[in-house]
Amino acid sequence: MIARLLEALRPWSRHLVVVGGWAHRLHRFHEKASPPAYAALRTKDADIAFSPAAPIKGDIAGALGKAGFLEAASSEHTPPITQYRLGAEGGGFFAEFLAPLRGSEVKRKGKLDMTVAKAGVTAQKLRHLDLLLVEPWAVRLGEDVGVPVRPPIEVLLPNPVTFVAQKLLIRRKRAREKQAQDALYIHDTLELFGGDLPELRALWGERIRPGLHERTARSVESLCREQFGAVDDVIRSAARLPQDRILAPERLQAACRYGLDEIFGTA
């Protein structure tokens, strides 16, 4: 399923970043990752992000149609938010496009500014998504790692630091079940790249933080303590999500607090 999507998007791969749950799954193929024995969280939706300023041309929607994806549009916004669903054999798999929301959500005369159209597809604009486009990492995917694309393809993913930072920033606006899922994503990402915490700290301090608004950077650093300073209901719910391992809430909280402090700590 993901292979069919990546193959269809191959001509635009330099300008597209796979975010969300599939980014976390594909992180395991990065050379700096230390994949654990437990399975990654699974998701049926693939989120693809791009900058509205990226030089993306052509017909992405047409390429997806040729690959068997069907458009399903919502009329809530103009242009409408669009999902691209794989046919019956896809088991509910679908892709959505996302773009950063900068400034107000409302234009003049009260019109919402929540979508943007580019290369035949419509992306939903989201706050803090621009962080995921900063310093993306590339992974090489092909048949040798179990992804049936030929020839192999380089796919862009958020680096672990921005992936985690964005999860911290969006938590307050997420539904309770999504908050728990995001807490587990943070834990598992820190475990996946736990052998490179000093390098991730340098990435934050030298490459990412200087480009952020100071208020945003300080929010990330304070949210580490706020969200993982103690075991709460979100952390307890997160610990109940795994199906192939036993994860105590206290262990999840302590591991996250330690890893986040190593990366974002100001001491």
206 plus 257 within the same structural domain? yes
Domain containing 136 equals: 2-157
50 plus 136 within the same structural domain? yes
193 plus 108 within the same structural domain? no
* CA angle (37 as vertex; 35, 41 as ends), nearest 5: 75
Last residue of a domain, one of 137, 157, 177: 157
242 plus 166 within the same structural domain? yes
Q: What counts of helices (H) and strands (E) characterise the chain?
A: 9, 9
187 plus 146 within the same structural domain? no
Number of domains in the chain: 2
At 114 the pLDDT is 83
226 plus 196 within the same structural domain? yes
Mean pLDDT to the nearest integer, 104-124:
78
**Is pLDDT above 90 for 237?**
yes
Kindly compute the dihedral angle of the four CA atoms of residues 177, 169, 141, 135, in this order, to the nearest 10 degrees. 180
Q: What is the pLDDT of residues 42-80, one digit of tens each?
A: 888 999 999 999 999 999 999 999 999 999 876 565 667
At 24 the pLDDT is 96
113 plus 18 within the same structural domain? yes
254 plus 152 within the same structural domain? no
55 plus 121 within the same structural domain? yes
Last residue of a domain, one of 157, 179, 210: 157
Give the sign of the dihedral formed by CA 128, CA 130, CA 135, CA 137.
positive
- Give me the chain's average pLDDT, please: 92
Last residue of a domain, one of 122, 157, 192: 157
Mean pLDDT to the nearest integer, 151-174:
97
At 72 the pLDDT is 87
Query: Can you tell me which residue has the tokens 């736990």?
Result: 194
Mean pLDDT to the nearest integer, 233-260:
96
